[in-house]
Structure 1
Amino acid sequence: MSDLKTRITEDVKTAMRAGDKPRLSVLRMLQAELKQREVVDAVELTEAVIHAAVEKMVKQRRDSESQFRNANRTDLADKEAAEIAVLLDYLPQQLSETEVAALIDQAIAETGAAGGKDMGKVMGWIKPKAQGRTDMGKLSGLIKAKLG
């Protein structure tokens, strides 16, 4: 069993003992997602698989949060933001804006990218280094702006 899966299981127990219902709810959803991947998809739960599941859940919540904010439903948007905060605990340390900018500059230099047509080369170079450590959609936009 992966260390991260063990940590999630222990955190569920801790949240139950503490009566922290919002945190417990998010952790149970995460466990359900992991069980889905493990049983239905027949995938071994490695750190990478767990990180991918967490990233998917964070992305879904960011999308929902954005839609709720646009609809002036701050109560629901705040709930999504709180869930994101819980989930981010299970991803590697996030990159700062400065680190992301430096990584983009390095990727462009290493790949010799000269314009928008080289977007795929840059993303291919940067993805393994940034996956799970930054919002990939936002990263793509930053790269596009830099190349454009």
Structure 2
Amino acid sequence: MKLLEQLKDEMKNAMRAKEKIKLGAIRMAISAIKQAEIDNNIAPDDAAVIAVLTKMVKQRKESIAMYTEGGRDELAANEAAEVAALEAFLPAPLTNAEIQEMISATITEVGASSMADMGKVMAVLKPAMQGKADLGAVSGKVRAALNA
């Protein structure tokens, strides 16, 4: 089953169960996916849905940090519940060992030897790791591997 269909089915289940926070998060996700579909003029495939969900999770995690810092624990708890609802649709995150292994294999595959080749390495890693790892952290690890 496609990811968008799973989202719609889970939205119906959340409505029936009267789970307001989960329902709101899923509705926002579907809305963001439709907006991306209109903006990019393409039908949303699973990769596009994962990209939207990953972006939404990242935004909410940043909001949690800001709310916690500002002493707004009830808002941080709502954001955390939304993150949990959205992360259920993302693929399982990669471990550090798996990330390092993929980076090493990609560097060898592309024949990268310096920082000038970082774009080539990231171009291969990004689609493979989308939604499974923080690409900012992966970029830092690739940079460290190429400088070593």
TM-score (normalised: structure 2): 0.82
Indicate whether 1:128 and 2:119 are aligned. Answer: no
The yes-or-no answer on 1:92 pairing with 2:129 is no
Query: 4+ residue stretches of structure 1 with deviation over 6 A?
Result: none
For residues 66 and 120 of structure 1, do their structure 2 counterparts lie closer, same or farther at Cα, with a shift above 3 Å needed? farther
Deviates more, 1:100-109 or 1:37-46: 37-46
User: Could you give the per-residue CA deviations for residues 15-43 of structure 1, whole angstroms, max 9, x where no partner exists?
Assistant: 11111111111011112112223345432
CA 1:21/1:127 → structure 2, altered by over 3 Å: closer, same or farther?
same
CA distance in 2, matches of 1:117, 1:69: 39
Over 3 Å counting, the alpha-carbon distance change for 1:107 and 1:22 in structure 2 is: same
Q: Which moved more, 1:105-114 or 1:135-144?
A: 105-114
Paired AA for residue 131 in structure 1: Q
- Matches of residues 11-50 of structure 1 in structure 2 within 5 Å? 11-39=10-38, 41-50=40-49
Extract unaligned runs of 5+ from structure 2. none
The aligned length equals 147
Whole-angstrom distance in 1 between the partners of 2:138 and 2:70: 25
What whole-Å deviation, never above 9, does each CA across 1:63-96 have from its counterpart, x for those lacking one? 3234344545444444333322211222223212
Corresponding residue for residue 106 of structure 1:
105
Q: Distance in 1 between matches of 2:100 and 2:39?
A: 39
Greater length-normalized contact order (CA 8 Å, ≥ 6 residues apart) = 2
Taking only the aligned residue pairs, the percentage that are identical comes to 38
CA separation in 2, counterparts of 1:103 and 1:5? Answer: 28
Q: Does the C-alpha gap of structure 1 residues 81 and 17 become closer, same or farther in structure 2, counting only changes over 3 Å?
A: same
